[in-house]
Structure formats: structure tokens, C-alpha cells
Structure 1
Amino acid sequence: MSDSVAGLGEFGLIEAMTRRSSPGEGVLLGPGDDAAVTAAPDGRVVVTTDLLLEQQHFRRDWSAAGDVGHKAAAQNLADIAAMGARPTAVTVGLGVPPDLPAAWAVEFMDGVRAECEPVGCSVVGGDVVRADTVVVAVTALGDLDGGAPVTRGGARAGDVVALCGRLGWAEAGYRVLSRGFRTPRAVVEAHRRPQVPYDAGPEAARLRASAMCDVSDGLLADLGHIADASDVLIDVDPAAVEVPDQLREVAGALGADPLHWVLTGGDDNALVATFPPETPLPQRWHVIGVVLDAGEQPAGDDAGAAGRVLVGGAAYTEGAGHDHFR
């Protein structure tokens, strides 16, 4: 293999990146033609797209190429799961500088495939172009298997708010890396590769979740999306939100508040959903709050930085999460 993508050329690079593809069930025509063909047994297709930019979403001196591939796939697969759907296929657009080592692009694609394969999802195509820095665009498809999509707009007063997955770990890893450290390894790896409970999305749909969202920008920010879409308030109980000892130790060393990381940190891609209060939730779903009527906003409160989200009955004034334009 040539040392750089320029030496390999566009079509040589595409061949190198796709040669290890093994289209799964449901892929009727995989990479190599003008477009792929996938089955849609449900008759509906769930679609999402996400962009990752070098230096903004990842750094090559912090993350290996495979890590970036895992992260790029995970962010999209989590969105599919948050609709209550099962991921089926992804396409990958990749912009790269001509002097980028060709091995980096191949390892990146291996990371995408490795994240997709355990959930039965296939890489079915994409494109590569020349760019000044590495740019990644992933589009994911999903199937609802006959169920209704779980949107952000169905939460009702009296519902409980429940979380599946972990929060604050990726933020802790980011803070550690920003200080020039590479340990503790657990939080650094969390920043590099999210651990997403993909199957919890369809599970929540079967349990008749009223609303759901993946936590990519911060718990309060993403709960704010549910609250706005549902025209409700959400009150998070800080005593019910788990703050693991590992995060407390890292935060103590950095002089930070670990609860703030859990409430506002992004990139863990946990799933948060609202359920009718009588729903028997599996053990991995942790109730962390309640949905309130929009008229229950405390006097003099603006419902917090997330818009309509309270923490312990009051506005949270330390920020809500990530916003690309703020």
C-alpha cells in the first residue's frame, strides 16, 4: 500500500477502505456501484446524518484512526437507537489531506465497521474527497421493525425520566487530555470510544416510552429538546444521578465538579427517555427525574439554561451542554 492517500489515488483509496467490507443481511447491493441497495422490511426507513471535523470533534494526536471510526459510527447509530429503531446500514463520506497516511484511512474504516457489526449494521458505501483537514460525514439507516418511532415530543406531566448508559465519562476524558495527561485510561478511552447501549432504544420503544433522545450534547441540553418538543418542564433529581467514584477522583485532581460533568458533558451517547409512571423498567434504566406541567415553573425562574429543565426544582445556572454556535 502507498504511504499516502495521494499516492494511492481516489479509487485506490476507496478499494483499500472497502475491501474488507462484508455486507450483512438486508444489503441487496453493497459498495462498488453508483449507489447501494438495502432492504426496508418495515416499509419505512429511519435516517440520520452527523459530521465530525478534525480539531473540533477529534484530534489525531489524542485518538487513533480506529477510535475516530468508532466514534463517528457511534454518534449516528445512537441517533437511530434513540428513535426506537435498529441500525441497518451506514454510508461514510471522508475528506482527507493528500499527505494523510493511507493506513490512517483504512484503520478509520475498520473502526467504523467494528462499531457497526455487533448491532448487525453494514457499511454500504460513501465517498472520499480532498480536504485541508480530516472531515467525516456518516449517514445511518435504521428499521423500526413494525413499531412506532419514539420522538422527542411525547412526554407528558407525571411521566418519569429514566437514563440508560453512562454520563460524564467522555467529558472527564476530554478534561484529562486537555491537561496533557493520558491517564486515567478509563476516562480517556471513554472520550475516544463511546459505550452506547444500542439495544436499549428498541427496548424503550417496546416499553412504550413517551419520548426519547440520545445524550450527545449534555443531559440538560438534550432533555431540553424533549421538554421543548413536548411543551413540558423536566425536573432532574441530582441525588438520583449517579456520579461514579472514578469521576469523583478525576474531578478532585482537576479541581472540578463531577456532577457538572454528568449533567452537561457530551459524547457519551447514553439514552434518556420518559415513561408513564406505572412502567416496569428494567434494572439498567435509572429514574433520574420527573416530567412536570409547563405551568409548574417556579416563580422567578427561567427553567434553567436548558430552556425548560430544572435541577432539584430550581434553575441550573452553570450551563446546559454543547452548542456549536455558542
Structure 2
Amino acid sequence: MISTVADLSESELLARIFPRLHAGTSMLLGPGDDCAIIAAPDGRTVISIDTQVQDKDFRLLWPNGSTSSGFDVGWKAAAQNLSDINAMGATATALVVSLTLPGTTPVSWVEDLADGLSAAMVALGASACSVAGGDLSGGSELVVTVAVTGSLDGVEPVLRSGAKVGDVVAVCGTMGFSAAGWALHESALPPQGYTPAQAHAAALFSRPEPPLAAGPLAARAGATAMMDISDGLLRDATRLAQASGVGCDLDGAVLKQFAGRLTECADALGVDPLTWVLTGGEDHGLLSTFPAGSDLPECFVGIGSIVSMDVAGEAVTIDGQNFKGAGYGTLGWDHFAV
């Protein structure tokens, strides 16, 4: 009876995976040769890569009894990579996937991962993108690495370095929900006891929903700088401000409105929900800047303004104040922090 990847050869496992992978219109040659061939009608290709490591980025079993299915991990692998392409104002064209699998990994888990990758691409609006191939290897822990390519489709890439004094700072997508879901999984609150609001946060942690239509829309609307919020608003706003040589002053009242949507999760865990909004990552929304006085594209919400570094004295402030002094804690997620 075949139940784990150790029961199959590499070719046999690939034969289980390939039929489950989504093939979009951009793929001219798919899995089977040494390389895939992806159309690049714009003549420019954007590329990014992300890795998820078992017990660093996800757990198969969480302290409160929640589990990460192969479908969840596949969905998140697609979402976080598609979000990077979105943050440049581009459209995703292809993913290639590298899997490191312990021999004890159930074959069904790997099949679910392939299903999650494909389902996310379709559900999130990247149906033109393809899973074009990848690589398999054995190891002591699960590692999922995805590289993604994209096309700019005639727009100029929106970089982190273009913000100018006077620009409006805006976000699109959720903030703090993924961090709330992570905190719930790490808590003693069993998943069967989640309220609908808590279950929603947990679902967005497992299966983020980056607003993929918003990146190209923002680029065409004249966004001056943009990046995805993967490591927390404060950390990523700091990166954008430093790259642009400016300061970013955030509106505390607006941020508290975002935090108010997380009250039910925060009350259950005794947490200030504003901490999740400011430092929680993996919602994969967009952080953008637009010229002063311009109409923000649909779904973007203004949360502050770009100021002179000479005025701010800090890369990021909240209502003109140092956020650490206001008790907001650390910047956000850091893979190598102790």
C-alpha cells in the first residue's frame, strides 16, 4: 500500500503531482523538459522567490491542536509569491516549485499541496499564471520554495524608492488578521472553540488573500512607491521610507480603526490588536504612496503621509511620535531574530 513518499520513486511522485498543477495561458512549454518556456510579451520579466520551512514558517500541528494541511501550505506558497509580483505593479506568469520532503511525508499531503497551489492561483485572480515545473529532494524537514516570474504588461515597475515628500501613504488589503490567526494557533484556545471572527483570522493566516488586481491598478494610477506588507507595517514602511530617503508619518486614528476589526481575537488572548496591525506580517496587502491630491484607486485607504526625514527624525512615526516610545513594540517579523 502506497502511503508515504518513501513508497514512490521520484518519477512516480511527479506523476501524482503534475496533473494537479494549474496551467495558464502564459506557459508555452510546461513540466517534462529541463526548462519550461514562458511567454514574455512585454519583453521584461520580474522575478522573486520565497521559502517556507517546517516549524519556522508553518507547523503541521500547532499548540492549540490546529493543523497545517498540504493545501494550506501550497496556498500560502502561491499567495506570498504572487503578492511580490503584485507589489511591482506586474502580473504573474509562472511559478516553479522546489520541495524537500522527509520520506515519512504522506503522499496525500503532497497532492494536497499541489491542489492548494493551483486553487490559490485561480481563486486569487492569477489564472493566467502556470505552475511550470520544479524539483524534488529528500530531507529531514518539509521545505517549500517557490520562484515566480511576472510581466509588467506595458507599465513601469513601481519601486520602493519613489516616494516623495507630500505623497499620501495608503494600504490595500487586510492588516493584522494573519498575525491574529497565528496567535490563536499558538494559544491554548482550541480551534473548535473559535468564534466566526476568530475562525476568519485563522483562515487568513493559513490562506492569505493578497489583492492581486490592486498592484497593476495602483501602477496605472500613478503610485510613486509600493511594496507588499509581508513582515509587518512598521518594518515594511521603514524599508520603503529608507529606500526613498524620506520619513513616513502614519495616522494613529486610522490604524486604530483597522485594529478595531480584531477586537474579538485580541480580547480572547489579552492582546492590544494595534500591535498586530503594526507588526504582524503575512497578510500580503499593499503599502503604496500616491501624489498628494490624487484620487486613491478603489480599495486603497489613506493611512498617513510622506514627510521630510529632517522633519520626522525617524524613518517611521505615528502622529509625529517615535512608535517605540508610544509602546508599540518591535518593528515586525525577522527570520533571524532571537
TM-score range for the pair, normalised by the shorter chain length: over 0.9
AA aligned opposite 1:108? L
Distance across 1 between alignment mates of 2:217 and 2:118:
24
**Aligned-pair Cα RMSD in Å:** 1.2
1:293 to 296, 302, 308: 308
- In the alignment, which residue of structure 2 is the partner of 1:216? 230
In structure 2, give the amino acid aligned to 1:309: V
AA partner of residue 16 (structure 1): R
Take 1:137 and 1:240, find their aligned partners in 2: how far apart are those partners? Answer: 36
Q: How many angstroms does 1:22 deviate by?
A: 4.5
Q: Deviations over 1:219-267 (max 9, x none)?
A: 0100111101000000011111232545112112211110111011001
Which of 163, 168, 191 is equivalent to 1:160?
Answer: 168
Question: 2:159 pairs with 142, 146, 151, which one?
Answer: 151
Matched residues in 1 for 2:297 and 2:27: separation? 33
Structural mapping, 1:69-108, within 5 Å: 69-108=74-113
User: In the TM superposition, what whole-angstrom CA distance separates every residue of 1:115-151 from its partner, at most 9, and x where no partner exists?
Assistant: 1133121100001100101001000110000111000
Shift of 1:281: 1.2
Q: 1:283 to 1:27 in 2, by over 3 A?
A: closer
- Deviation, 1:282, is 2.9
1:325 alignment counterpart: 336
AA partner of residue 165 (structure 1) = G
- The residue aligned with 1:63 is 68
Distance 2:26 2:323 in 1: 46
Taking every aligned residue pair, what percent have the same amino acid on both sides? 43
Matched, 1:113 2:128: no
| Structure 1 runs, 4 residues or longer, greater than 6 Å off | none
Give the secondary structure class of the aligned counterpart of 2:134.
Answer: strand
Normalised by the size of structure 1, how large is the TM-score? 0.95
| Post-superposition offset of 1:20 | 2.6
1:276-291 equivalences under 5 Å are 276-291=291-306
1:216–1:29 distance in 2 versus 1, CA, 3 Å: same
Q: Which residue of 2 aligns with 1:173?
A: 181
2:330 alignment partner AA: G
* CA distance in structure 1 between the aligned counterparts of 2:101 and 2:279, rounded to whole angstroms: 31
- Partner amino acid, structure 2, of 1:265: G
Question: Mind listing any 5+ residue stretches in structure 1 that lack a counterpart?
Answer: none
Q: Distance in 1 between matches of 2:239 and 2:161?
A: 9
One-letter amino acid of the structure 2 residue matched with residue 127 of structure 1: D
**2 CA distance for matches of 1:7 and 1:27?**
31
Instruction: Work out whether residues 249 and 312 of structure 2, in 8 Å CA contact, stay in contact via their aligned partners in 1.
Output: no
Residue identity opposite 1:35 in structure 2: C
Instruction: Write the distance in 2 (CA, Å) between the matches of 1:23 and 1:191.
Output: 26
- 1:49 is aligned to 49
Please give the alpha-carbon distance, in whole angstroms, between the structure 2 residues aligned to 1:239 and 1:157: 21
CA distance in 2, matches of 1:297, 1:107: 48
Aligned partner of 1:37: which letter?
Answer: I
Q: Which residue of 2 aligns with 1:20?
A: 20
Secondary structure of 1:234's partner? Answer: strand
Whole-angstrom CA distance in 2 between matches of 1:224 and 1:2: 50
- The letter of the residue matching 1:273 is S
1:185-218 alpha-carbon deviations (Å, 9 max, x no partner)? 1111111010110110000000110000100000
Question: Are residues 1:195 and 2:213 paired?
Answer: no
Native 8 Å contact 2:218 2:297 kept in 1:
no
Q: 1: CA distance between counterparts of 2:178 and 2:144?
A: 20
Mapped to 1, the partners of 2:20 and 2:54 lie a distance apart of: 25
CA contact (8 A) 2:316 2:322 kept: yes
Matches within 5 A, 1:194-273: 194-241=208-255, 242-243=257-258, 245-273=260-288
After superposing the two structures, state which structure 1 stretch, 249-258 or 147-156, moved more: 249-258
**Does residue 314 of structure 1 match 2:321?**
yes
Please give the alpha-carbon distance, in whole angstroms, between the structure 2 residues aligned to 1:238 and 1:82.
Answer: 24
Q: Secondary structure at the match of 1:58?
A: coil
Letter matched to residue 233 of structure 1: G
CA–CA separation in structure 1 for the residues paired with 2:260 and 2:330 = 23
SS in 2 for 1:3: coil
